[in-house]
Chain A
Amino acid sequence: MSDEIKKITPPLTDEMVEGLNAGDQVSITGTVYTARDSAHKRLIALLDEGKELPFDMNGAVIYYVGPSPAKPGQIVGSAGPTTSYRMDAYSERLMEVGMKGMIGKGARAGHVVDAMVKHKAVYFAAIGGAAALIARSIKKVEIVAYEDLGPEAVRRMEVEDFRVVVINDTKGLDLYKMGQEKYQIA
């Protein structure tokens, strides 16, 4: 794993995504959109009906998070990543319409890893459970859709130096496997 920190700002292009490798430390500044289980289901339903999505998916980075409510004076409550495999069923459809990045925690299914190679997209992990710390890199939050879903609503977040690591890249590599191979004791 390299010590260098790669800085990126969404929307991401094919070239930007291809320049990221499993194990890279990345600092994201700019816009990310939040969506979890129920929001994904609704986004896919819109695609099925041929309707427009509530935000521009081209080059978008989706952060799998349901923040806790903001206290008075706070921009956002605690906001760490949720487990990603629950979004596996929906991710390829979103890559087909332009999604380039996903932020969550935990391994993705093989078909999602393959889809990232095919559609040129990456999967990042943020530190699961470091939610109060991560909230400090979120500078602005606005609900863009599905307010009725409460914590699961789709939010536009402006982030600054949001630290993540590349788990799956466009070459089909997987940091979870690489990391384990390095430290496993047979």
Chain B
Amino acid sequence: MARLALFFGEFMAVREIKASDITDTVRMLCIEANTDLGDDVIQAFEKGLKQEESPTGKAIFTALLENAKIARDEKVPMCQDTGFAVVFVEMGQEVVISGGSMDDAINEGVRHGYKEGFLRKSICDPFTRKNTKDNTPAVIITDIVEGDKFKITIAPKGGGSENMSRVTMLTPSGGKEAVVDFIVQRRQEAGSNPCPPVIVGACIGGTPEKAAILAKKALLRKIGEPNPDPELAGMEKELLLKINNLGMGPQGLGGRVFAMAVHLIKHPCHIASLPLAVNICCHASRHKEGEF
């Protein structure tokens, strides 16, 4: 709905979005993300099945394809760990939200989605470990962008793979080589824990907190979609080869496909720093988008 609002004595168009509509969309996206694996991931499984040399590894790809089909057909979560609800918002600066705050609307959507979708509630107090019982609060990362669109991406991520994330502050002298070495080593150390075949997300640059967010965001790119930056595209190829040459394979049981993709993002950094964040995603690379 377009409205005219008075800003600094001038009228400008604003687009109104109802908080209740955001709640509805979030509810639906939470269920969809956890039950309907993206086609890009399914295609990566099919490619992996062809590429894999180990019989056990092949059997794992077959099981993952079957698992994804059961989840989609029966609308049940593909993994029991339905994750922390991580929500990326791109909010056009001409948008106003009516009928409540955006964060409340999103959390209400998570609450409904996790209940109605029979998704596991996995969020607890860090010390008492007492469960919040509705999977809230969500982690909400908001970017204010140009225009009047409101885009929301839900990316639930399980604890097993999230525990394998790392942020490190390398020294600039180490350069690209240090970055590649750290990512390969992290992937090796994480072993079978993050449910390989994985997608490795990483951000080089920024500050520690910026890098951590962008490493997670890197996972949202479709598998198989090339990195628009040729330098990073080359590094992704090199990293994927090195990681798969480790021979750890699907589920770490030995084989060719330990990772299905490496996704990198670069961001300017301080002259004193070379920050690097690595975020490993399990094979159930879940994310769904909605737009208003």
Least Cβ–Cβ distance between B135 and chain A, in angstroms: 11
B80 touches A182 (CB 8 A): no
**A-binding segment of B18-26, B50-58, B170-178, B230-238:** B50-58
B192 close to A183 (CB less than 8 A): no
Is chain B's interface secondary structure helix, strand, loop, or mixed overall?
loop
Of the candidates A70, A107, A129, the one whose C-beta lies within 8 Å of that of B79 is: A129
Taking CB atoms, residues of chain A closer than 8 Å to B40 are none
* Cβ-based interface call for B248 (8 A): yes
The answer to whether B76 and A71 have CB atoms under 8 Å apart is yes
B76 touches A133 (CB 8 A): no
Q: Does B118 contact A (CB under 8 A)?
A: yes
Once the chains bind, are B247 and A105 in contact (CB under 8 Å)?
no
Asked whether A131 and B247 contact (CB < 8 A) given A150-B133, A176-B252, the answer is: no
Check B192 against A1 for contact (C-beta < 8 Å).
no
Select from chain B the residue with minimum beta-carbon distance to A107. B191
CA distance A149 to B195 in the complex (A): 24
Q: Is the CB of B60 within 8 A of A184?
A: no
B225 interface residue (CB < 8 Å to A): no
Taking a contact as CB atoms closer than 8 A, the residue among A68, A135, A165 that contacts B120 in the complex is A68
**Contact of A179 with B249 in the complex, beta carbons under 8 Å:** yes
Considering the complex, give the chain A residue whose CB is closest to the CB of B131.
A150
Q: How far is the CA of A1 from the CA of B67 in the complex (A)?
A: 24
Q: Which of B78, B121, B247 contacts A132 (CB 8 A)?
A: B78
Contact check, A67 vs B255: say whether CB atoms are below 8 A apart: no
Cα distance, A127 to B118, chains bound together (Å): 22
Which A residues from 31 to 87 make CB contacts under 8 A with B?
A: 37-38, 65-71, 74, 77-80, 82-83, 85
Nearest chain B CB to A148's CB is how many angstroms away?
A: 9
Interface string of A117-130 (1 = CB under 8 A from B): 00000000101111
Residues B67 and A183 in contact, CB atoms below 8 Å apart: no
* Pair B252/A183 contact, Cβ less than 8 Å: no
* Contact A182:B70 (CB < 8 A) given known A68-B118, A78-B77, A78-B79: no
Number of A residues, CB within 8 Å of B: 46
Determine the chain A residues whose CB is within 8 A of the CB of B71 once the complex forms.
78, 132
Min C-beta distance of A41 to chain B, whole Å: 9
In the bound assembly, the distance between CA atoms of A85 and B163 in angstroms comes to 11
Question: Which of B54, B80, B193 is within 8 Å of A83, CB to CB?
Answer: B193
By a CB distance below 8 angstroms, the chain B residues around A82 are 81, 159-160
A146 shortest CB reach to chain B, Å: 12
With an 8 A cutoff between CB atoms, is B185 at the interface?
A: no
Cβ–Cβ contact A128 & B118, under 8 A: no
Interface residues of A in 85-142 (CB under 8 A from B): 85, 105-107, 125, 127-133, 135-136
Residues of chain B within 8 A (CB-CB) of A185 are 245, 247
Do A65 and B193 touch (CB < 8 A)? no
Is there a chain B Cβ closer than 8 Å to A144's Cβ? no
Task: Judge whether B67 and A133 touch: CB under 8 Å.
Answer: yes
Cα distance A37–B54 in the bound complex, in angstroms: 33
| Cα distance, A78 to B160, chains bound together (Å) | 16
A176–B195 touching, CB < 8 Å: no
User: A1–B191 Cα gap in the complex (Å)?
Assistant: 19
Is the beta-carbon distance between B76 and A183 smaller than 8 angstroms?
no
Among B193, B253, B256, the residue within 8 A (CB) of A175 is B253
Q: Are B249 and A183 in contact (CB under 8 A)?
A: yes
Q: Which of A's residues lie within 8 Å of B, judged by CB?
A: 1, 37-38, 65-71, 74, 77-80, 82-83, 85, 105-107, 125, 127-133, 135-136, 149-151, 165, 175-176, 178-186
